[in-house]
Amino acid sequence: MDIVVLAGGLSSERDVSFKSGTMVAQALRARGHRALVLDVFMGYLDKEQDISGVFDNSEANSVVVEDIPSEAPDIEAIIASRPDKSKSFFGPNVIKICQKADVVFMALHGGDGESGKVQAAFDLYGIRYTGNDYISSAIAMDKQMTKDFLIKAGIPTPAGTMLNKSDREGFSFDKYPCIVKPNCGGSSIGVTIVNNPNELDAALDAAFEWEDEVVIEQFIKGREFSDGVIEGKALPVIEIAPKQGFYDYKNKYAAGSAVETCPAQISDEVTTRMQKYAEKAFKTLGLTTYARIDFMMDEQENLYCLEANTLPGMTPTSLLPQEAAVVGMNFEDLCEHLIQVSLKKY
């Protein structure tokens, strides 16, 4: 197949996305596909403005990124650097090339790539893509809306509230420690643990730097897990134990800074309970292809669902691929499987 692996974009997870995209493309090429890694924002510029043979040299025409910098990217600088200065999120030739592809593998993370907007545009352009449809993506992207859906479905989630920037004055929260996070963020960017009311202001500043809406919720002290779901069926659970602090941006992407164990060393009862919650969350959010659901477990083994990731990290050492490996699906198998699963939408 001719496959566009779509990456980049303007979210705080831009660099992470290139890493996923590069790895996915390598795997798909190993399976005989022609895979082109395309930056959704910068697009593809050819000297002759001729894209007819773009898949003939798909590897040479691909964006290649091997390492994720330790700091989140400077998005303003990236916007300023695009030569055409267009206001379109889609860079030059992106739609045309995606229309030529048999399928677009979505390696975008966060922002407009994960929010359902690209998916909705692709539906209208007749472009086939991997992953969930626009509406379930949009719901899962919104942490507070996700929590509302979880609560309705009887899935436990930390108690909390959402705050809009315009309602900030006079706001107080009465349960400490708590955690503050941007409502639609990812990769723990803008997330702060708040131990007492004196620390709340700085945490709100950090989160509002990214978005006008933030979630403030009870901090769950304990262990952290994640569970991938493909077509409604949960994979083995993975535990993530950062060596220092919590699972922040650095601990997520600097090699060796967190111990990841799959299958997680927890009782069968806890495993089953978490997998049931993961499958139920998947269903209640309207997801159909694949996703990864994040959990915390407190010292009494109560589980709390934090959020759903509809375009989770896709390098061979990312969490979902590790879980798939435990059931005998290697990274190449997984990339192909996600395409097959996703094409059932059409």
- List interacting residues with ligand ADP (CB under 6 A): 158, 179, 181, 185-188, 191, 217-220, 224, 246-247, 294, 296, 306-307
| Contacted entry of Mg ion, ligand ADP, none for residue 29, CB cut-off 5 to 8 Å set by kind | none
From the CB of 247, what's the least distance to ligand ADP, in Å? 4
From the CB of 308, what's the least distance to Mg ion, in Å? 9
What distance lies between CA 107 and its chain's CA centroid? 9
Q: With H, G, I as helix, E, B as strand and everything else as coil, classify residue 290.
A: strand
**CA 258 to each of CA 241, 242, 250, 305: distance values in angstroms, whole numbers, following the listed order:** 5, 4, 10, 20
- The CB-nearest residue to Mg ion is 294
- The CB-nearest residue to ligand ADP is 247
Closest to Mg ion by CB, 133 or 294: 294
Q: What is the DSSP secondary structure assignment for residue 206, as one 8-state letter?
A: H
From the CB of 245, what's the least distance to ligand ADP, in Å? 9
**Listed ranges 16-24, 131-139, 141-149, 293-301: which one lies at the site for Mg ion (CB under 5 A):** 293-301
From the CB of 295, what's the least distance to Mg ion, in Å? 10
**Residue 63 neighbours by CB under 8 Å, 6+ apart:** 7, 8, 18, 21, 22, 37, 38, 39, 42
Closest to ligand ADP by CB, 226 or 342: 226
Closest to ligand ADP by CB, 13 or 39: 13
From the CB of 114, what's the least distance to ligand ADP, in Å? 10
| Contacted entry of Mg ion, ligand ADP, none for residue 28, CB cut-off 5 to 8 Å set by kind | none
| Contacted entry of ligand ADP, Mg ion, none for residue 323, CB cut-off 5 to 8 Å set by kind | none
For residue 80, count other CB atoms closer than 10 A to its CB.
9
Q: Which long-range contacts (CB under 8 A, 24 or more apart) does 247-254 make?
A: 247/188, 248/188, 248/191, 249/71, 249/72, 249/187, 249/188, 249/189, 250/70, 251/188, 252/187, 252/188, 253/16, 253/68, 253/70, 253/187, 254/70
Which of 231, 227, 226 minimizes the C-alpha distance to 339? Answer: 231
Is 294 a binding residue for Mg ion by CB under 5 A? The answer is: yes
Positions touching Mg ion (CB under 5 A) are 294
